[in-house]
Copies of this chain bind each other. A is one copy, B any other.
Amino acid sequence: MPLNSHDTAFLQDILPFWNKLTPPQRQLIQSGSAPHNFRAKDIIHSGPGDCAGLYCIKSGQVRSFILSDTGREITLFRLFERDVCIFSASCVLKNIRFDIYSQAVEDSETILIPTAIYRDLNQNSLAVSDFTNQLISSRLSDVMWLLEQILFMSFDRRLAIYLLEQSSIDGSDRLKTTHEEIARNMGSAREVVTRMLRYFQSEGMVKLSRGEVELTDRKKLEKMAKAK
């Protein structure tokens, strides 16, 4: 079943190469792509063997992460509405030598452009190849940012930044989260997070309760986030 006009309009809107495609290329996307909906916590793709294609996110939130031998997860970046997940089509790319996983954080609606179609477009359209380029560069920038956080930044500053970002993503000062989850997302240990959160609480910056971190002094957190 081809995409409906609403979904087609959505792709046209978010894919910068759409207007540079030939009519048969557009037709290929329309007839070959399909809506895929995920529930919160569903795994969208697992590692390099899993190469379904490009997921274009209509709504929701997707988290991409790497996995250690011992099962530790490190979040690399998050994708939101209008973002495109390229690593679920990483078999299209040459020289990708790492395993990446993606999971729906919230219920998420996507449109999947299958690998065979994207590969064909990527090989035949300069505009598509340039878009691939932009996606990879953008994800590389995300990973570089994370690397710099880990290498160069003190943990109190990183945690303050993390809490402020989560608050802005959630649109609330009350974060429904556990210390375990914060540690996982920051590539740290639960104990380290708990210790620092208690310090923040003693400074009046947050209030801790079961399954919740409430930001009680944004100014102070923002000051810490900017500190060198």
A-to-B contact residues, CB < 8 Å: 66, 68-70, 72, 74, 93-98, 122-126, 129-130, 132-141, 143-148, 150-152, 187, 228
Across the interface, A93 reaches (CB within 8 A) one of B133, B146, B150, namely B133
Q: How many copies does the complex hold?
A: 2
Q: Which residues of B contact A96 (CB under 8 A)?
A: 137, 140-141
Q: Nearest CB to that of A68 among chain B residues?
A: B152
Q: Nearest CB to that of A124 among chain B residues?
A: B126
Across the interface, A148 reaches (CB within 8 A) one of B98, B125, B126, B144, namely B98
10 closest residue pairs by CB, A with B: A95-B138, A68-B152, A129-B129, A97-B141, A98-B144, A95-B137, A140-B140, A94-B134, A126-B126, A93-B137
Complex CA–CA separation, A152 to B143 (angstroms): 15
Are A134 and B95 closer than 8 Å at their CB atoms?
yes
Complex CA–CA separation, A96 to B134 (angstroms): 8
Are B94 and A151 closer than 8 Å at their CB atoms?
no
- With A126-B124, A151-B187: A145-B98 Cβ-Cβ less than 8 Å: yes
Q: Which residues of B contact A137 (CB under 8 A)?
A: 93-96, 136
Q: How distant is A18 from chain B, measured CB to nearest CB, in Å?
A: 17
Q: Which residues of B contact A124 (CB under 8 A)?
A: 126
Most buried by B among A124, A130, A137, A146: A137
Complex CA–CA separation, A118 to B100 (angstroms): 31
